[in-house]
Structure 1
Amino acid sequence: MKLKPGSVDEYRRRHDELWPELEEALLDAGIYDYSIFLDEETLHLFAVLKLRPGETSAALPQLPVMRRWWDYMAELMEVEPGNRPKEWALTPMFHLP
């Protein structure tokens, strides 16, 4: 994902005040230990999360709370039509299990 210039502080503030209903939806979908990292030079965001067995995270985009969150964050990030954050796949380079 990628932030727009000048939006770093507001992005952090909004995540510091994550809506309880969104947190509940993420946890209910089987997401835990979720972190987002920022490359301050490029404004790229890198998200790392863990999923529980039986997770249902693929259904999150259909939830009204997820769509409201995307609308709320759209002014801060590069987004697709419908305000879903643009995402780029990364190539795995190393993993130490």
Structure 2
Amino acid sequence: MKRKGFIMKVYADKHEEYEKRHNEIWPEMVEELRRHGARNYSIFLDKDTNQLFGYIEIEDEEKWNQMAQTAINQKWWEFMKPLMETNPDNSPVTVDLTEVFHMD
């Protein structure tokens, strides 16, 4: 299992809608995440900076990277685009973080 941390940014006036959409995440999206090896996935919001901190555990980097190409993921990105900073392909602008400490 590999741990990944990353930062994204939600628009200041979209905090509540971002949380609402994740509270109502589509079951087929969750299924696809699991099929691509995702476990223990959390997203945290810093309301002062509008930054989102994501944490996920994945089985395999290559398997995880294939998630971006799935139809449900593409649909989710389009659904979330009005709420956050995105790239031209609708994917969220993401900064990957380097793990420097871990304790079980």
> TM-score, with normalisation over the residues of structure 1?
0.90
Q: What is the aligned counterpart of 1:65 among 72, 78, 100? A: 72
Q: Percent identity?
A: 38
Q: Which one scores higher on RCO, CA 8 angstroms, separation ≥ 6?
A: 2
After TM superposition, the structure 1 stretch with the greater mean CA deviation from structure 2, 44-53 or 14-23, is 44-53
2:48 corresponds to 1:41: yes
Question: What is the CA distance between 1:94 and its match in structure 2?
Answer: 3.5
Distance 2:80 2:37 in 1: 22
* CA spacing shift, 1:80–1:94, aligned 2, 3 Å: same
Deviation at 1:86, TM superposition (A): 0.1
1:6 alignment partner, SS class: helix
Cα gap change, 1:42/1:89 in structure 2, threshold over 3 Å: closer, same or farther? same
- CA drift at 1:50: 1.0
Structure 2 gaps, min length 5:
1-7
- Taking only aligned residues, the RMSD between alpha carbons, in angstroms, comes to 1.8
Instruction: Structure 1: give runs of 5+ residues left out of the alignment.
Output: none
The alignment status of 1:95 with 2:102, answered yes or no, reads yes
Q: TM-score if structure 2 supplies the norm length?
A: 0.84
C-alpha deviation, 1:96, in angstroms: 3.1
The question of 1:50 aligning with 2:61 is answered no
Given that 1:61 and 1:67 are in contact with CA atoms closer than 8 Å, whether structure 2 keeps it comes out as yes
Letter in 2 for 1:84: S
Q: Equivalent residue of 2:40, what SS? A: strand
**What secondary structure sits across from 1:86 in the alignment?**
coil
CA displacement, residues 35-64 of structure 1 (integer Å, 9 cap, x when unaligned): 001111101111101123587111011101
